[in-house]
Structure 1
Amino acid sequence: MDVSAAEAAPGVALVMTHRNAPKMAVPPPIGMTNLKAAGNHTLPIMQDAEIRWNGQVVAVVLAGTREQADHAATLIRVGYDTAPARTRFEEGKAGAYTPESMLVEKNRLDKGNAAKKLAEAAFKIDALYTTPWENHNPIEPHATTIVWQDGKLVVHDATQMIHGTAGSLAKIFGLKEGDVQVSSPYVGGGFGAKGLWDHQILGVAAAKLADRPVRVALTRANMQRLIGGRTQTEQWVALAADADGKLKALLHHGYGVKPLHSICDEGFTLTGRSLYACESFDIVQHYVDLDLLANSFMRGPGETPGTFAIECAMDELAYAIGMDPIELRRRNVATRDPVSGAPHSQSAMMEAYDMGAARFGWHRRIAQPGMRREGEWLIGMGCASGTFPFMRMPGTSVRITIDTSGDAHVASAAHEMGMGTATVQRQHAADRLGLPLDRVTVTIGDSSLPFASFAGGSSQTASLAAAISAASGKLVAELLRLAGNDTPLAGLKPAEAEFANGGLRSVEDPSRSESFASILRRSGREELSVVGESGAPLEIMKYAMHSTSANFCELRVSDVTGEIRVDRLVGAFDCGHILNAKTATSQFKGGMVMGLGMALTEETLLDERTGRIMSTSLADYHVPVHLDVPDIDVLWTGIPDPRTPLGARGIGEIGTTGVAAAIANAVFNATGKRIRDLPLTLDKLR
């Protein structure tokens, strides 16, 4: 490398390469057992001259302006010694590896001799479904500002892993955890992209080397080549059923890409294990190790591509039998976990189907494909199920502080990415503490606050709710202790007291009460703080816990050009109790728009000769725009889950799952053509 011209360029403060970069440990990988880590891969960062994927950073230029840095970067000269690389998916399949586990489950499931039952079945389908690489494109690109102060590190980041980022940076740079502060009060969209990637780590290293504050802001092209996305998948699905439509066998084999340095499992074959009751299963997933950027989490990881394959296959089976697709699902819906036999905590997928079908007007569907036409437009309807598991993270903590004014303040290092975290938890705390909403404030988004796990897997709301519940219980006990014997509350146990009207009162005798202010003043305090923590999610170990959905699509396809226009989408969701109708509606609709993009437009273009991502802007990587997005109607069962905090399950991921399958099934109903390869582009319909 020759960086001399870049170093001499106007405004340049530093050019950092592997030659002068400080020593950095490998990022600790994020995982269920290490929630204070956020690394997405296990590769050394700028510690040697080896290039491990096409797009890896080899130099960082610091300058006074972005334009000066960009210009200086063009002056760097790099010579490469090439070596054989594995960049082709088809060639890599021959050497694919088969992991023992997939997330927290065994990868291989072989139950009931599925191959034999497939061969003997009255009805069967056997098809291959493929989905492409997909990359993240949140409205807000990744950006980080770094300041070193007296040996301590302050990072202003856009992240959905605040404590994970702080803990990881401490380990990478050999710091104490308390010497790293990460601030991220608001994030302009995450979807799994806003974890810890090379740009934050390199920015911290460059700021240390230059001894000055540094801001790193990624361009769209940077994002495509530095931030991992959803792996491509190849999924073989075979279904067997008897004459009554009862499933006898479900076989689901798949290949995805997961470089050995990646930590993200895209468990798309897990989908078929939970939705439908079946006598036999044959399920396994293989990974191809390629010399590419690490794949990573993307909204609805696993279930989003998995439901495309399973739900298209269910539609194909329904057509083969001559049965309504909803009726086929009704005859096979699981009443308990099909594999473990565990009871459901709460499940009402068919109730969601009934609600959605009534709202959508499913009775107007014509089963025979190609029978509805308006001029050049062929019109079709399709449906598909969606699913996503319930998750709740242990260790998430919340501090509740009350003061003599009667106000309450809630604090946690939680994340707000537009889904309404602060709003919903403020509502919850106000209800729990018996206070008006305007007497409760919420502070989130900083690692100096009590620990919160990452915002992902639709887990944050339940985790925070459990922590607020625990903190409220502690607050009751502490207030009763402070109140002592000279109070109307004397002698009450915590279970016998409740919050009301800015204080505590007896459950059995509401006249026995005392305000927060009175208790605090008598004890000589201005305020009282307690910290509550979300305990181990024991409910997941006892019950099968999944959110489900019924997705409906009506669309039209031009028989002249093959253009697809989605006219309307309806999503009916069974996610337990809905805490806030407005924020939930936005979450569901946003997820469905992402499902629409998956179905019709999104595809990362990879040059397999070189392993280089070529679609580096929104001109090349197509996401839905206003003209693509139809009327979207959402509704929900609202049935509380008795095993979860507040009776709610997470809703962040479920909206995306099943949408692509509903659209593909509607295309078949309109045209009679089965397109099993996403996205559903014009060339595949001609």
Structure 2
Amino acid sequence: MTNNTKNPPIDRIDGRMKVTGGAKYFADFELPNTAYCVIVGSEIAKGSIASLDTKKAQGAPGVLGVFTHQNMPPIPGWDAPVGGEADGPAPKPKTEETYRILSSPKILFDGQPIAIVVADTYERATYAASLVKARYTKQAARTDLQKHVSDGIAPRGADGGNYLRGTADGYKNAPVTLEANYTIPVEVHNPMELHGILAHWTGTDTLMIYAKTQGVNATQNAMAQAFKLDPSTIHVHTEFMGGGFGMGLRTWPQETAVVAIARKIGRPLKLVINRSQMFTLVGHRPYTVQTINMGADQDGKLIGIAHAATAETASYEDFTEATVNMTKFMYACPNVSTRYRIVRLDRSVPIWMRGPGEATGAFALESAMDEMAHKLNLDPIEFRLRNYSETDPERNRPYSSKNLKEAYQRGADAIGWKERKNQPGSTRDGDWLIGYGMSTGVFSAFRWEASARAFLQADGSLTIQSAVTDIGPGTGTALTMIAHNVLGVPMNRIKIEYGDTSLPKAPTQGGSAIVSAVGSAVFDACTSIKHELMELALKAGAPLAGRQADELTLADGVLSVSTDPKKKVSVSDLMQVNKLTVIDKTKDSKGSPEQEKYSMYSFSVHFVQVRVNPLTGVVRVAKAVSVADSGRIVSPKTAASQMIGGVAGGIGMALTEEAIIDHRFGRFVNNNLADYHVAVHADVPAIEAIMIDKPDPIINPMGAKGMGEIALIGFAGAVANAVFNATGQRVRDLPITPDKVMQKRM
């Protein structure tokens, strides 16, 4: 990491706890008399259950029940129309199909739960689940998007999936044109921690839940809808998560089923799904095909772009994402049209995955930009600079902040871009071809509503409380830094309590918005404490009476006069004199109407150097530099960790990750970590993360914008562009495997 940030880097506040086993994840919680359940999945992709034999399973040792569509306990809120709040925090459009877990013999996707076996131990439940036997009436299943692209339909919404600026075919009038198709396969989240839930009815209508969720308040609300309860009677706890990546952004049907069965059996019930079920029960990045048509003049000015994307969804639920959104505003172009369509397949429903939509769209757009630069014989950075958008051309607004030109320069210097040759295949190092590539990433910068509580004790210690879940990016560390910067309390005297619905409400951790949202609430609560301390110190008869608030400095538990440091009073003495044991503030925080005047985005630029073996087609990322333009960097070390993690995920996206389906059966054939290849240590080089670290003056009081998504968005395009620069072979279908590189002899 290049540490040019204004804040000093600090270690994660929970780092030691995590590496020593002190951090408790949902499955680590044990309650007295806990039962365990195992899901039995369908072995067909479409049809119905003709018969289901559970007798042997029910008679197996320790089995407490086998639940199927014939005896599943009722879920009161599911009487509402499909797609209501019982399914998750956001309504989903209804399709012609209906999916309610264990509600009918109908099969809508491979791996769909057909039974949940409950026993007194996990091992007994697993064994009993193997005894459940089903016969099916099969129907022909549609699982191949490529065969059904023409069946795409417009998603529901005001624009019907279409956007137009200027004329739709403006690119056709350009002297230099490009048409290219790009494919993103199914990618699966596959964090280390498996998904699941531990549910315990503590009373007739009171519920305790430990879950793998990215938002405890969202899970609380979803369960309240499902069981028609007051949300205040449901307590959800998720302090730590072993990787979310988007899979924890909704409450999945099997979680609700476990809660219903726990009520039925009258004891706590735990579900931890297995690795193969991670491919079918908790979403994935949808298979997407895209076409880019682009036109430019001989001087490298864009004349038109048309971007069309078609993505899979389930037969029973319409899932959409922002695949084409980046194209609408990223570059100054007078004629831009986008079209987005979805195809309903007999597959489980996708879900947002890190860099949701934008990561998919950026691969196509940024690959096309590189291809057009090559046609024009322009340096790819120069081509982007000639089409730089100083203001948002989609909304006709200024950006709240944008330092992308500086990011281009900083990244180019760090990667050694001057060594890049514009002619592909020009650089060798022994047996290896060397190539350089770059790509831009962008993601909306949000500030959602959030609450936080801060209370300062007379001994100088500070506690911060928020319901937000830390899914891994170091949220607690960032909140500690914000509180320290406001109140000057030493960081080892600050305690963070989070991940529980008993604490002030917080949004779900997703969309790179938590530091902006919850951080602002923490900032406001701590600022309120600071103002009260200053009022106490400045009132008549107080130690600093006669001074003005703007003259005071608060640091290390001491209020002092900036121009006369000898004039000071300790916070402890100040509180003791005023007979205060604690100063307690809770603040709700949200953005101002002023933000509506601006377009707010975080930006990134990714640079890579690759080495390609011309005899085998093997691609190695030899060096990576990622530059983040995401406002003020609150916590430099965890911010760098975000960028590094995004690059690791981006390498997987570019070179290895692909969930493969045998369309004869509609089943994944590599639904395990031996055959589904994520990037490992040998695939990931040393990564340099550079922070522009300039505060955004509009978004929040810290000036901080999110960076979790931009860490990955665009990176796959940078790798593809580097491979082309090394070999002259343009790979448009991810992942970039040796067979694709070797399609043409180098």
Q: 1:376 to 1:496 in 2, by over 3 A?
A: closer
Q: How do 1:44-443 and structure 2 match up within 5 A? A: 44-101=100-157, 107-115=161-169, 117-151=170-204, 152-195=206-249, 196-259=251-314, 261-262=316-317, 264-394=319-449, 396-443=450-497
Residues 338-379 of structure 1 show CA distances to partners (whole Å, capped at 9, x for unaligned) of 111100111111211111111111111111112223444222
Query: What's the offset of the Cα at 1:420?
Result: 1.1
Query: What's the offset of the Cα at 1:44?
Result: 2.3
- Of stretches 369-378 and 51-60 in structure 1, the one that deviates more from structure 2 is 369-378
Report if aligned partners of 2:591, 2:699 keep a CA contact under 8 Å in 1: no
Report if aligned partners of 1:260, 1:289 keep a CA contact under 8 Å in 2: yes
Q: 2:606: which partner in 1?
A: 551
Report if aligned partners of 1:40, 1:197 keep a CA contact under 8 Å in 2: no
Query: What's the offset of the Cα at 1:136?
Result: 1.0
- Of stretches 256-265 and 287-296 in structure 1, the one that deviates more from structure 2 is 256-265
- Of stretches 80-89 and 451-460 in structure 1, the one that deviates more from structure 2 is 80-89
Structure 1 unaligned segments of length 5 or more: list them.
Answer: none
User: 3-state DSSP class of the match of 1:267?
Assistant: coil
Match of 1:596 among 647, 651, 655: 651
TM-score calculated relative to the size of structure 1: 0.93
Amino acid at match of 2:181: L
Q: Does 1:3 align with 2:54?
A: yes
Query: What's the offset of the Cα at 1:656?
Result: 0.6
Q: 1:286 to 1:474 in 2, by over 3 A?
A: same
In structure 1, C-alpha distance between the alignment counterparts of 2:92 and 2:458, rounded to whole Å: 45
Query: What's the offset of the Cα at 1:469?
Result: 2.3
- Of stretches 143-152 and 180-189 in structure 1, the one that deviates more from structure 2 is 143-152
Q: 1:499 to 1:410 in 2, by over 3 A?
A: same
In structure 1, C-alpha distance between the alignment counterparts of 2:520 and 2:563, rounded to whole Å: 25
Q: Does 1:471 align with 2:525?
A: yes
Query: What's the offset of the Cα at 1:90?
Result: 3.4
User: 3-state DSSP class of the match of 2:106?
Assistant: coil
Amino acid at match of 1:404: A
In structure 1, C-alpha distance between the alignment counterparts of 2:87 and 2:466, rounded to whole Å: 15
Report if aligned partners of 2:628, 2:690 keep a CA contact under 8 Å in 1: yes
Q: How do 1:574-593 and structure 2 match up within 5 A? A: 574-593=629-648
Report if aligned partners of 1:29, 1:37 keep a CA contact under 8 Å in 2: no
Report if aligned partners of 2:439, 2:715 keep a CA contact under 8 Å in 1: yes
Q: 1:15: which partner in 2?
A: 66
Q: 1:108 to 1:524 in 2, by over 3 A?
A: same
User: 3-state DSSP class of the match of 1:78?
Assistant: strand
Report if aligned partners of 2:482, 2:523 keep a CA contact under 8 Å in 1: no
Q: 2:680: which partner in 1?
A: 625
Q: 1:564 to 1:40 in 2, by over 3 A?
A: farther
User: 3-state DSSP class of the match of 1:457?
Assistant: coil
Q: Does 1:534 align with 2:586?
A: no
Q: 2:43: which partner in 1?
A: none
- Of stretches 531-540 and 348-357 in structure 1, the one that deviates more from structure 2 is 531-540
- Of stretches 520-529 and 438-447 in structure 1, the one that deviates more from structure 2 is 520-529
Q: 1:44 to 1:539 in 2, by over 3 A?
A: farther
User: 3-state DSSP class of the match of 1:353?
Assistant: helix
Report if aligned partners of 1:231, 1:266 keep a CA contact under 8 Å in 2: no
In structure 2, C-alpha distance between the alignment counterparts of 1:527 and 1:477, rounded to whole Å: 14
Amino acid at match of 1:608: H
User: 3-state DSSP class of the match of 2:596?
Assistant: helix
Query: What's the offset of the Cα at 1:113?
Result: 1.5
Report if aligned partners of 1:386, 1:549 keep a CA contact under 8 Å in 2: yes
TM-score calculated relative to the size of structure 2: 0.86
Q: 1:453: which partner in 2?
A: 507
Amino acid at match of 2:475: T
In structure 2, C-alpha distance between the alignment counterparts of 1:301 and 1:36, rounded to whole Å: 18
Query: What's the offset of the Cα at 1:7?
Result: 0.7
Amino acid at match of 2:231: E
- Of stretches 531-540 and 49-58 in structure 1, the one that deviates more from structure 2 is 531-540
Report if aligned partners of 1:269, 1:285 keep a CA contact under 8 Å in 2: yes
Report if aligned partners of 1:39, 1:197 keep a CA contact under 8 Å in 2: no
Report if aligned partners of 1:233, 1:257 keep a CA contact under 8 Å in 2: yes
Q: 1:518 to 1:376 in 2, by over 3 A?
A: closer
Q: 1:37: which partner in 2?
A: 89
Q: 1:573: which partner in 2?
A: 628
Residues 632-671 of structure 1 show CA distances to partners (whole Å, capped at 9, x for unaligned) of 2221222221112211111111111111111111111111
In structure 2, C-alpha distance between the alignment counterparts of 1:76 and 1:514, rounded to whole Å: 72
In structure 1, C-alpha distance between the alignment counterparts of 2:525 and 2:86, rounded to whole Å: 23
Query: What's the offset of the Cα at 1:158?
Result: 2.2
Q: 1:679: which partner in 2?
A: 735
In structure 2, C-alpha distance between the alignment counterparts of 1:28 and 1:302, rounded to whole Å: 29
Amino acid at match of 2:189: H
Amino acid at match of 1:414: V
Query: What's the offset of the Cα at 1:513?
Result: 6.7
Amino acid at match of 1:74: S
Query: What's the offset of the Cα at 1:495?
Result: 8.3
Report if aligned partners of 1:472, 1:532 keep a CA contact under 8 Å in 2: no
Structure 2 unaligned segments of length 5 or more: list them.
Answer: 1-51
Q: 1:29 to 1:244 in 2, by over 3 A?
A: farther
In structure 2, C-alpha distance between the alignment counterparts of 1:538 and 1:107, rounded to whole Å: 28
Match of 2:662 among 603, 607, 630: 607
Query: What's the offset of the Cα at 1:95?
Result: 2.8
Report if aligned partners of 1:504, 1:515 keep a CA contact under 8 Å in 2: yes
Amino acid at match of 1:64: D
In structure 2, C-alpha distance between the alignment counterparts of 1:230 and 1:491, rounded to whole Å: 62
Q: How many percent of aligned residue pairs carry the same amino acid?
A: 37
In structure 2, C-alpha distance between the alignment counterparts of 1:580 and 1:279, rounded to whole Å: 39
Q: 1:200 to 1:100 in 2, by over 3 A?
A: closer
- Of stretches 436-445 and 78-87 in structure 1, the one that deviates more from structure 2 is 78-87
Report if aligned partners of 1:262, 1:295 keep a CA contact under 8 Å in 2: no
In structure 2, C-alpha distance between the alignment counterparts of 1:499 and 1:558, rounded to whole Å: 59
User: 3-state DSSP class of the match of 1:80?
Assistant: strand
Report if aligned partners of 1:457, 1:653 keep a CA contact under 8 Å in 2: yes
Amino acid at match of 2:725: N
In structure 1, C-alpha distance between the alignment counterparts of 2:368 and 2:681, rounded to whole Å: 30
User: 3-state DSSP class of the match of 2:294?
Assistant: strand
Query: What's the offset of the Cα at 1:511?
Result: 8.2
- Of stretches 11-20 and 494-503 in structure 1, the one that deviates more from structure 2 is 494-503
Query: What's the offset of the Cα at 1:508?
Result: 9.5
In structure 1, C-alpha distance between the alignment counterparts of 2:663 and 2:208, rounded to whole Å: 40
Query: What's the offset of the Cα at 1:273?
Result: 1.6
Residues 78-116 of structure 1 show CA distances to partners (whole Å, capped at 9, x for unaligned) of 2333345433323433332112548xx87321121141x
Residues 444-464 of structure 1 show CA distances to partners (whole Å, capped at 9, x for unaligned) of 111111101011010011111
Amino acid at match of 2:150: A
Query: What's the offset of the Cα at 1:519?
Result: 5.4
Q: How do 1:480-559 and structure 2 match up within 5 A? A: 487=542, 499-502=554-557, 516-518=571-573, 520-521=575-576, 524-536=579-591, 538=593, 540-559=595-614
In structure 1, C-alpha distance between the alignment counterparts of 2:163 and 2:316, rounded to whole Å: 25
Report if aligned partners of 1:36, 1:166 keep a CA contact under 8 Å in 2: no
User: 3-state DSSP class of the match of 1:357?
Assistant: helix
Report if aligned partners of 2:58, 2:64 keep a CA contact under 8 Å in 1: yes
Query: What's the offset of the Cα at 1:19?
Result: 2.3
